[in-house]
Structure 1
Amino acid sequence: MTKKVVLIGDSITDAGRREDPNGIGTGYVKHLYEELFKNNKDWELINKGVSGDRVTDLEARWEEDVLKLNPDVLSISIGINDVWYQIDHPEMEQVTPDQFEAVYRSLLDKVPASTQLILMEPTIIEEHLGSLGNQGLVEYAEIVRFLAEEKGAILVQNYAVFMGTLANGNHPPLTTDGVHMTDAGSRLMADTWKKAAGYLFKTDK
């Protein structure tokens, strides 16, 4: 029986999936699809990214886009907009770190114990270490790490890897606008994900 892996998140996961006949998009999910799933008949990959989403938006569609699908593996990438909107749209009602943690935990609590969880740290906001967005992301990335440990989930260390890449320098542009990924940024996300979770999808066939 084919098993399902659902990847849910914001625009970085979405990456134009609705314009893609395969529903995969052009971002890190595409790299994962081509390298782990395209020729792996044991697994079906489902992209449920929605541009602009914060953790509260995931909450609104959790039943339809996660629980009804009953995935064997669930990968979650959220947090960029929760911080970015505080900078870019200060007039909006914001998702504080405490709310982010409470809502995120409540979503995880609804997932069956049989589902393998993969929690992805958020990436970056602007390609310099001291940006206001990257400072704001620190606490949200810490929450993701804490929840991963609490729930026995696989942790994908995007924030740590991207910040380390920025610190090392000598890299191609990772984003097109400080947030959305170039192909190099998507490649880095996919490689980080595979390093953490790729072993789940290996086949001996």
Structure 2
Amino acid sequence: MGKPKNRDFVIDSGVSGATSAELVARFGERVTAFSPRVVSIMIGTNDIATSGPGPEAYRANLVSLVGSVRALPGSPVPVLQSPNPVDPAKWPGRVGLSRYAQVMGEVAAAQDVVFVDHYNDWLNGNGGQVPLSLLNDGLHPDERGHHRLALKMIKDLRVFDPGSRVCSLRVP
């Protein structure tokens, strides 16, 4: 392993219940204020839960967010991460979440942005079914779900190191 990267840390500026429109509106306080080098955006689960304008407005918001990230000093790297799938029996208002994950993938391709597709990773790893064992309430990932999200991101960013404490962590 290399020397510790004391300047590398993660700041979670997410807000429960936030939508992509709210992130666009509050980009300064949620992102700019931290002078980031990489900005990971995982949003969409609440966009579908609101009676908002739908997938095309979500698309426009993602394009705006990627542009805002790239316009920051130092040209941070934007990373888009799709939301994880949710239990449709407990959260019927979010049944169309797959469309939002698809839109995010399309934006990532069009904008040449790294895309971490948690939505399809979870379904493909569980025979096309939502892996309820990774969710604590049918919506939010539990410790195993968060571990899977982290490992997927680390692998997709090509920084996986099986000798590191993070990558070799086992969750019961």
TM-score band by shorter chain is 0.7 to 0.9
TM-score of the two chains, using structure 1 as the length reference: 0.66
Secondary structure of the 1:42 match is coil
Q: Give how far 1:172 is off.
A: 7.0
**Structure 2 SS opposite 1:48:** coil
| Superimposed CA distance per residue, residues 100-155 of structure 1 (whole angstroms, 9 cap, x where no aligned partner) | 11112112212235211110011112078xx8566401211111111111222111
Cα 1:135–1:66 shift into 2, 3 Å: same
Report the secondary structure of 2:96's partner residue: helix
Q: Check if 1:106 corresponds to 2:91.
A: no
After the TM superposition, which parts of structure 1 deviate over 6 Å for at least 4 consecutive aligned residues? Answer: none
CA distance in 2: counterparts of 1:124 and 1:144, whole angstroms: 14
CA contact (8 A) 1:125 1:133 kept: no
Q: Aligned residues: percent identity?
A: 27
Relative contact order (alpha carbons < 8 A, sep ≥ 6): 1 or 2 greater? 1
Match of 2:138 in 1: 178
Please provide the CA RMSD for this pair: 2.5
Give TM-score, length-normalised by structure 2: 0.77
Structure 1 residue runs without a partner (length 5+): 1-38, 87-92
Tell me the residue number matched to 1:149.
109
- Matched with 2:27 is 62
Q: Which amino acid aligns with 1:111?
A: V
Q: Which residue of 2 aligns with 1:15?
A: none
How many angstroms does 1:178 deviate by? 0.9
**2:81 paired residue number:** 120
**Distance in 2 between residues matched to 1:61 and 1:156, nearest whole Å:** 23
Residue 81 (structure 1) aligned with residue 70 (structure 2): no
Q: Deviations over 1:39-80 (max 9, x none)?
A: 531313211111111111212210122123231100000011
